Amino acid sequence: MTPSPSRTQPPFRLSSLIFSVYLPTFLFSIGQGAVLPITPLFALELGASVATAAVVMGLRGLGLILFDLPSGVIVSRFGDKGAMVIGTAMVAVVALGASMTRSVAVLSALMLVMGGGWAFWQVARLAYVSEITPNEQRGRAVSLVGGVTRAGNFVGPILGGFLGKYYGLESAFYAQAVMGLAASAMMFVVVRESSGSEDLGGHGMSGRLIATIVKHREIFLSAGFSVIALQLLRQGRPVFLPLWGNAIGLDVAEIGLIFGISSFLDTWLFYPVGYVMDRWGRKWASIPSLLTLTLGFLILPATSGVYGFALVAILMGIGNGLGAGMVMTLGADFAPVDRRGEFLGVWRFIGDLGVAGGPFIVSVVVGMASLGTASILSAGLGFAGAAAMWLLVPETLRRFRP
């Protein structure tokens, strides 16, 4: 690994990440957002059933999980820059293939590989930001990544819907390919500082991963549990709110408007949260995030009208926003210099388990108990995650260490 640039170069500025991280992230997120609402519709157009279309959509998340661990080794082997370029280029090539296929089976395979490209991109980008960003500015740097991603995911579906309506559903995949190639080319040209490749030696991929997991098992167990709890609550929010709104008699327009307000508050908290993490510490954002979401899930079953429901939805939106960038920031802080790639691969795997598994776990719990009981049980998980973060996870903002 190369030495920290903050010791050999002029003082770090967030603006230095505009063309190497933020603009490529924005472009890449537009491309991803453009195909998200289009993919299941495209599968239906190819002859898939509704259930199969849902599976096709889910394969992207499965690919993300399957490639998280290998992507960490790829980052160590080819460097941050190489893995970022490979990941974005892979997604672009897959998008081109998806636009031309007329087979549901081929589309399914391509979605799985697309998840892999997304995994390479995410791990490599986080490794790059964690390497060049000083600890005391990392919260803002990473939170801005989350904010830019949200902006791209807002623009992308609008673009995809427009292209799909007037130029055919496959045109959204062409847009994704263009955005992916643009992001890849930009990083290839702009990114200069990057971890050098490492010789895997006789340990191989599995040996390095196992050694990393064993060495940092306490962090993965303690902080990892809190991360999974947060991700499960985040994924449960868009499931519980519509279902509970429907259960108390609200119509689709009311539920959509309230959820939109909740998401608006969530979106605009990313930079203030980054400032809090850099000024007072990571726990000052992560614990309030978990507790606020927990409170929302706890009182949701007590609501019976539109105003109470709206207040809970707003509370959950604030709680979700308070955790903006928290998972990535903690991963960047904990990642060791000598095994940064492998550590972040495992870290992303833990977080993505919560993301991908959240809706399935919620569905199982709801199937075994009432919706209100499931919400209360989710609150219990959130409280346990907050307690673990407070009692077991060390503060990673270095300025507060003796």
Question: Is 230 in the same domain as 286?
Answer: yes
Q: Mind listing the pLDDT tens digit for each residue in 334-390?
A: 999 888 888 999 999 998 888 777 666 776 777 777 888 889 988 999 999 999 999
The answer as to whether 346 is a domain residue is: yes
The answer as to whether 223 is a domain residue is: yes
Question: Is 239 in the same domain as 103?
Answer: no
Per the prediction, the chain carries an average pLDDT of 86
Question: Is 224 in the same domain as 342?
Answer: yes
What SS3 class is residue 48?
coil
Question: Is 166 in the same domain as 219?
Answer: no
Picking from 198, 219, 238, the residue at the C-terminal end of a domain is 198
Q: Residue 319 burial by CB count (10 A; 0-12/13-18/19+): exposed, middle or buried?
A: buried
The answer to whether the beta carbons of residues 90 and 82 sit under 8 Å apart is no
Q: Mind listing the pLDDT tens digit for each residue in 81-131?
A: 888 888 889 999 999 999 999 999 999 999 999 999 989 998 999 989 888
pTM: predicted TM-score of the whole model, two decimal places? 0.84
Q: Which residues of 328-366 are buried (b: 16+ CB within 10 A; e: fewer)?
A: bbbbbbbbeeebbbbbbbbbbbbbbbbbbbbbebbeebb
Picking from 198, 223, 245, the residue at the C-terminal end of a domain is 198
Question: Is 242 in the same domain as 140?
Answer: no
Whole-number pLDDT of residue 400:
40
Whole-number pLDDT of residue 91:
92
Closest residue by Cα to residue 125 from 211, 29, 35, 33: 29
What residues in the chain have per-residue pLDDT under 70? 1-10, 193-205, 358-360, 363, 399-402
Whole-number pLDDT of residue 217:
92
Question: Is 34 in the same domain as 163?
Answer: yes
Picking from 198, 231, 252, the residue at the C-terminal end of a domain is 198
The answer as to whether 262 is a domain residue is: yes
The answer as to whether 66 is a domain residue is: yes
User: Number of structural domains, the chain?
Assistant: 2
The answer as to whether 203 is a domain residue is: no
Question: Is 192 in the same domain as 223?
Answer: no
Whole-number pLDDT of residue 5:
45
Question: Is 36 in the same domain as 117?
Answer: yes
The answer as to whether 308 is a domain residue is: yes
CATH number at 162 reads 1.20.1250.20
Neighbouring CB atoms inside 10 A of 51's CB total 8
Residue 323 lies in domain: 211-394
Question: Is 324 in the same domain as 277?
Answer: yes
Helix ranges (H only) for 268-397 are 270-279, 283-299, 306-322, 326-334, 340-368, 371-391
